[in-house]
Every structure is written in structure tokens, then in C-alpha cells.
Structure 1
Amino acid sequence: MTNTYKLLPEWVKQEAVLLAWPDKKTDWQPWLSQIRDVYLTIISTLNLANTPVILLVRQNEIESCHRLLSADTKALKVLLVAADYNDTWLRDYGFLSLSNGESVHPVEFRFNGWGEKFNADKDNEINRLALQPLCQKYIRNIGLVLEGGAIEIDQDGHLISTALCLQNPKRNGNKTLAEYKEDFASNLGATSSTIFEHGHLEGDDTDGHIDTLVRFTAANGLVIQTAFNDPEDPHFKGLHNLLLECEAAFPRHQIFELPLPNIVNNEGDRLPASYANFLISNKHILCPVYQQPEDELALDIIKSAYPNFKIIGINCLPLVQQFGSLHCITMQVPEGVLKPEILHSVSNGVFIYESA
């Protein structure tokens, strides 16, 4: 495969979204009931967008999960796939999808728990052990350590990321930003790359993933998580500097600034609640909201940024208790990736995948 293949933007037509079911073996245990309600809402909302869900589930949880989903009155479209994983942040270890205009090819990077902060040995095997049998083509492995949430691309192949994340030496040693740009061009078909120096949310273990900060629109716009609503917020200066970087790098793009909520957990820690951490799927946008005063304004801004999309708010206050949000737990699968028999199964109810 050559670099005629390019990473697809999120708004292309999708045939599924990947999720991993939260259970007692994950860090969700203290909030398990609330978290599962969030997942069920996301699944049903995706199904209404004509997007089936491929749900990774631990083997001993499959039967109970199947009963729970089958009892839902909304006639869900879900394929349950047995898998063992460390946690449910599938955005960062699920495969990415590249296209040359005629065919789509999945690729994976190496995941090491956001710079060896957490054990990720099982997550790093998910593509090979659980997802490869579902795909038409071989999932090509790229030796670089990189997470899906660390990169964002538009329809022209312009890729964006953050220096703080990429330059964590426990990811790829002392690799320079220029070398990263070469990797993005050769492995992801990026025509150009912009790596921002500013922007980070307190409590974010990812070192400033771009999907918490800046997102492209399908019409040459940028949605940016700033703190314009509160100049006294400790994040205000850094996020304003990020805004200035965006304006300099994309002078012709329309800018949409999102307010920043101030949420702390029971221990008093600030939580990285970002409205930019939304998922685009088949002309729908699932937006995280946090039961905060800023929710309605954030939804209105996202509606302005994506006028041809249906915007749905999803209560992600339980999700952010573990320092992530909606985009972090999902990975989209564009058309042309899955085998026909998988597409048939995932589009006709709740089924348990049985490997050949």
C-alpha cells in the first residue's frame, strides 16, 4: 500500500461504530450502572442514524449483554464480539481507515497506554485478535506509537495534532515534529500537517489529544474548545493561544469557539470536560453534554458549525469521571471495511459473532 491511500475524515459514510462494553474489570466499576446507561443511549442514537454498532464484550459478559440489548424496545442493531481489553477507550487503539478513492484499507498503530501511563497490553492486541476477522482486508501494522484521538484530518488531507502529545518521549523517543509530519504523509497520506503548541485540559491523561481541542467541519471550519465564557478560568490563556494558532494556520476557515464547563469530581480534581469531543456519524453528531449551564450554548454553536447535520446531546457526565468523553470511547468504520456477512449480521438485530 502506498501513500495514495489517505486517512478518511470522520464525516464520510460509515457502516458501523466500534465500542467496548464497560464491566467490573474496567475502571468504570464505581459508576457501572450510569456508564452502561450512557452506552445504551449512544448505541440507540447511532442506530437511529443508520449506524450499526460492533460491541466488544468480554466472553463471560456476552450472554448477559445480549439479553440486556435484546430486551431493548428500540430493536437495536449490534454485533457482539468476544474480546479481552484493558479499558474501553477504543478511539485510541481501534484501527483507522484509509482510502485511495476505490477501496478502503484498515491500519493500526502501536498503543502503549498514552506514553506508558497505564497497562495496555490487551488493548494493543484488539485489532489482531478481535477485529481482523471482521475486515475484508488485512489490518496493516505501523510501528509508530500513536492514538486515534491524537490526530484529526479534513477532506483535503490536512492533518492536525498537538506537540505536547507527540513529544512525550515515552511514545516515540526523541522523534522530531518534522519526522512526525513525514510519518503522517507516508503512512496516512496527509498532504500537510499542522502541529499546535498550545492547548491542554487539566486532568487529561492523553497529553492534549486534538479531539478534545480542535475539530474540522465539513465546510472549511474549525470548532475549537476555548474558555471564552470565563476569562478567569486557568485554561483561558492556553486555549486562547491555541485559538490564535488556529487562526494563523487556517486564515480562511470559519472559527467556532466552544465554552468550557468547570467540573470537579468528589476529590476536587478538575475534569477535562470538552464539548469538542463529539462523534460524527452519517450526518448526525453525538455531542457530549455535562448537565452544566454551558450545555445549551455549546449545542447551539455546534449546530452553527454543522448546519447540515442533526445534533444530539448525550449526557456524558458519567464518562468524564474517568477523564474522557464520547469521542474517546468510539471509533467509526467507514464503508468498504467490513466483510459482507458481517454487515448482514450487524444490520439485522442483536447478534453474537461466531468465528469460523
Structure 2
Amino acid sequence: MSSTNSTPALTLLPEWAEQEAVILAWPNPDTDWKPWLDEVQLTYVSLINAINDAGAVVILLCREQELGLIKSLVPYRAKMLCVTCDYNDTWARDYAFLTCESAKGNVPVSFRFNGWGQKFDASKDNKINEQVLAKLCQQEMQYSDTILEGGAIEIDQNQHLISTHSCLFNPLRNGDIKEDEYVSLFQKKLGATDVSVFANGHLEGDDTDGHIDTLVRFTPLHGLVVQGAYNRPADSHFEGLFKLRMECQKAFPTHAIYELPLPNMVNTDSERLPASYANFLICNKSILFPVYQQDEDAEALEVIQRAFPNHKIVAINCAPLVQQFGSLHCITMQVPFNTLKSEIIEQAQSGVYVL
């Protein structure tokens, strides 16, 4: 489905827009990370360093009692602003604000978050934008009553927005909302000119009902990175991911498609883990790329370098993250340049700073 909106007031910026910051939420013992806490915190430290190396500061949500530990683990020269607050979990992609261009400048846009269709308590996460992040932004935050996670949508520089049917139409998100209502919402709130909703593709163990950021990602050079399973023809995911690739080719017939291999990871309870190589973060001229200490890592790194020939590929060990059924993109939310107040950026650039 597609439709046109010639002069949107707000236009969601693609991930490759120049970034000044990335939002993270620190994993602590009162989150579900407790069994893997040491390993996960080391992954966060690697990610903070990589974000800084890519030219962005880190806005780190954290509890006050964690500040001492954070300062002991993170380099003291790290460009990072610690914002003390409380939250349910660390999947900032799904509750932190989205950033849209407007005639007045970059506008933060906040949607409601209900724990991926009421699966988990998200009462604290749902207040982060209004109570914590809004005061950091130059422009007044815009709010929508619609439930929508950041990981559920992806947009390119032509304002073509993609998502998945399984996520959008979970009735525990927005009831019996219809496709044309979503299209109207994406036009009005995010400036989408075209909308494609894919019916196929879902990773076992994924609590999000098939977020697009685990399956299909845009590149700035007229390409699509797709999580495939071509390397595992007997895998339970093979048919669904093959059909997803076919959908991508139909929706984007002139795009180059870069298909990623699929690792087979299980936890100690023999549950399949949703280890997706598509869950990477574009951060300025770097791609912060999840690897899982699996045989497929090397091939996945080769594929992503072909998809982003002008970017530096930085591998981050996300094997600890996927133990909680998410990965690198899920824990991050990028903030495009000229969105946050100048004094916030200055504080973050001065070393580890506590707000």
C-alpha cells in the first residue's frame, strides 16, 4: 500500500542522518539482566566507546545508585551524560522519542509504549520521554496516544516507511486499528509518503511480534539489508524469511538486496534466541554491528560491508544481549544533530557528566 503527502509538517529522519547523541539505559540488578549482568555491562561499555568513536555523545539513563559502578567501568574521558531516573527495562529503542524534521527545527515525537502488547510492565518506561528526555530537547516534544515502538518502523530518505503486519496489528497494541488508519498516522506524525507492511518473517523468541529492525533495514545507497536463512535450509525460519525477501523484492524492485546469514543460538533452557544480524545501528560513518561469537559472524560482517561500502564496520559482541531476546539496535536510540539543547551536548562532551 502506498499514498502521497507532499508537504508533511514533520518528517522522520532516516538513521543515517548526522547524529549528535545515542540514548542508552544502563542494565542494573533490578532488570532482567541480573543473570548476565557483568557480561552485559561490558557490552554496554564497548558500545559507549564505539558511539564516541563515531562522533556522537551518549545520553545514559541510569539509577543514582549505579553511578559509582558506571564511572568505574567507563573511561573517565568518555563523552557521556548520565541522566538519573528509574525505568522498567533497557530497550530504549522502543520507548525513547523519535526525531522528525520540521520548519522550526528537529522535533522529538513520543508515542505510547505498553510493553510490546502488554507482555511486560512498562509503566516507568512509558513516562521517560515526558518526565526525563523532553527537558533535554530544543523543541517542545509532540505526543501521540498511539502505541508504537521505535523498532517497529524504518524509513529512508525518500520517506518510504516499512513495518510488519504481525507487530502493527497485534490487538493488544491499538485494538482493531486498520491499515489505512496506520498509513494516515504515519503520514501525519512522521511524514511518510509511502508505507509498506510486510506479512512474512518472524524470529523465534522475539517478544516484539516481529519488529522490522530484526528483519529489514534500509541503506542510504538504494539498498535493503534483509535477515535471511539461506545458510540453513532445514531451519524453521527458512520459509518465512525466504518469503520476506520476495516481499522486499516486490516492494523495492530497483533496490539492491543484501541478505544476512542466520545463526542458530539457544539458551540454557534450549529456547531459540532471536539473534539477528539486521539489528545494527548506523551511527554517523560507522555501523555498530552485532556479532554473537558464532560461525556466521564473519560472513555477516562481509555482507554488511558490501551494503555500506562507505562506512566503518565495528563489531560489538552481543551474545550477552540476545540472552534477553534482543540485540544492539534494540538498546539504542539515535538523536540527530541539532535536536538536544547545546548545553546538554557540551556537558556530555566534557567527560562523564551527571545531570
Would you say 1:9 and 2:9 are equivalent positions?
no
Aligned to 1:336: 338
Aligned to 1:145: 147
Deviation at 1:102, TM superposition (A): 5.9
Aligned to 2:48: 43
Task: Tell me, in whole angstroms, the C-alpha distance in 2 between the residues paired with 1:28 and 1:64.
Answer: 16
Aligned to 1:155: 157
Task: Tell me, in whole angstroms, the C-alpha distance in 1 between the residues paired with 2:131 and 2:182.
Answer: 28
Task: Tell me, in whole angstroms, the C-alpha distance in 2 between the residues paired with 1:214 and 1:249.
Answer: 12
Seen in structure 2, the aligned counterparts of structure 1 residues 102 and 129 have a Cα distance that, compared at 3 Å, is closer
TM-score (norm 1): 0.96
Task: Tell me, in whole angstroms, the C-alpha distance in 2 between the residues paired with 1:297 and 1:165.
Answer: 29
Task: Tell me, in whole angstroms, the C-alpha distance in 2 between the residues paired with 1:213 and 1:267.
Answer: 25
User: What does residue range 303-322 of structure 1 map to in structure 2 within 5 Å?
Assistant: 303-322=305-324
Aligned to 1:204: 206
Does the residue aligned with 2:108 lie in a helix, a strand or coil? strand
Counterpart pick for 1:59 among 58, 61, 64: 64
Deviation at 1:4, TM superposition (A): 2.4
Task: Tell me, in whole angstroms, the C-alpha distance in 2 between the residues paired with 1:153 and 1:89.
Answer: 20
Aligned to 2:3: none
One-letter code aligned to 1:254: A
Does the residue aligned with 2:345 lie in a helix, a strand or coil? helix
Would you say 1:300 and 2:302 are equivalent positions?
yes
Deviation at 1:280, TM superposition (A): 0.3
Say whether the 8 Å CA contact 2:228–2:241 is kept in structure 1: yes
What is the aligned-residue RMSD (CA, Å)? 1.1
One-letter code aligned to 1:20: A
Task: Tell me, in whole angstroms, the C-alpha distance in 2 between the residues paired with 1:158 and 1:326.
Answer: 23
Aligned to 2:283: 281
Task: Tell me, in whole angstroms, the C-alpha distance in 2 between the residues paired with 1:5 and 1:174.
Answer: 26
Task: Tell me, in whole angstroms, the C-alpha distance in 2 between the residues paired with 1:300 and 1:337.
Answer: 33
Does the residue aligned with 2:273 lie in a helix, a strand or coil? coil
Say whether the 8 Å CA contact 1:66–1:352 is kept in structure 2: no
Counterpart pick for 1:226 among 228, 231, 241: 228
Task: Tell me, in whole angstroms, the C-alpha distance in 1 between the residues paired with 2:344 and 2:229.
Answer: 43
Does the residue aligned with 1:342 lie in a helix, a strand or coil? helix
Say whether the 8 Å CA contact 2:273–2:323 is kept in structure 1: yes
Q: Percent identity between the aligned chains?
A: 57
Seen in structure 2, the aligned counterparts of structure 1 residues 102 and 155 have a Cα distance that, compared at 3 Å, is farther
* Residues matched between the structures, number: 349
Task: Tell me, in whole angstroms, the C-alpha distance in 1 between the residues paired with 2:30 and 2:59.
Answer: 20
Counterpart pick for 1:21 among 16, 23, 26: 26
User: What does residue range 176-191 of structure 1 map to in structure 2 within 5 Å?
Assistant: 176-191=178-193
Aligned to 1:116: 118
Counterpart pick for 2:35 among 24, 30, 37: 30
Task: Tell me, in whole angstroms, the C-alpha distance in 2 between the residues paired with 1:237 and 1:152.
Answer: 23
Unaligned 5+ segments in structure 2 are: 1-6
Say whether the 8 Å CA contact 2:45–2:73 is kept in structure 1: no
Does the residue aligned with 1:46 lie in a helix, a strand or coil? helix
Would you say 1:239 and 2:241 are equivalent positions?
yes
Moved more, 51-60 or 216-225: 51-60
User: What does residue range 122-137 of structure 1 map to in structure 2 within 5 Å?
Assistant: 122-137=124-139
One-letter code aligned to 1:205: D
Say whether the 8 Å CA contact 1:44–1:76 is kept in structure 2: yes
Task: Tell me, in whole angstroms, the C-alpha distance in 2 between the residues paired with 1:265 and 1:61.
Answer: 28
Say whether the 8 Å CA contact 2:79–2:352 is kept in structure 1: yes
One-letter code aligned to 1:222: L
Task: Tell me, in whole angstroms, the C-alpha distance in 2 between the residues paired with 1:179 and 1:125.
Answer: 25
Unaligned 5+ segments in structure 1 are: none
Does the residue aligned with 1:275 lie in a helix, a strand or coil? coil
Say whether the 8 Å CA contact 1:66–1:80 is kept in structure 2: no
Would you say 1:192 and 2:194 are equivalent positions?
yes
Aligned to 1:94: 96
Task: Tell me, in whole angstroms, the C-alpha distance in 1 between the residues paired with 2:270 and 2:68.
Answer: 38
TM-score (norm 2): 0.97
Task: Tell me, in whole angstroms, the C-alpha distance in 1 between the residues paired with 2:147 and 2:157.
Answer: 24
Task: Tell me, in whole angstroms, the C-alpha distance in 1 between the residues paired with 2:296 and 2:72.
Answer: 37
Task: Tell me, in whole angstroms, the C-alpha distance in 2 between the residues paired with 1:139 and 1:5.
Answer: 12
Does the residue aligned with 1:325 lie in a helix, a strand or coil? coil
Seen in structure 2, the aligned counterparts of structure 1 residues 47 and 103 have a Cα distance that, compared at 3 Å, is same
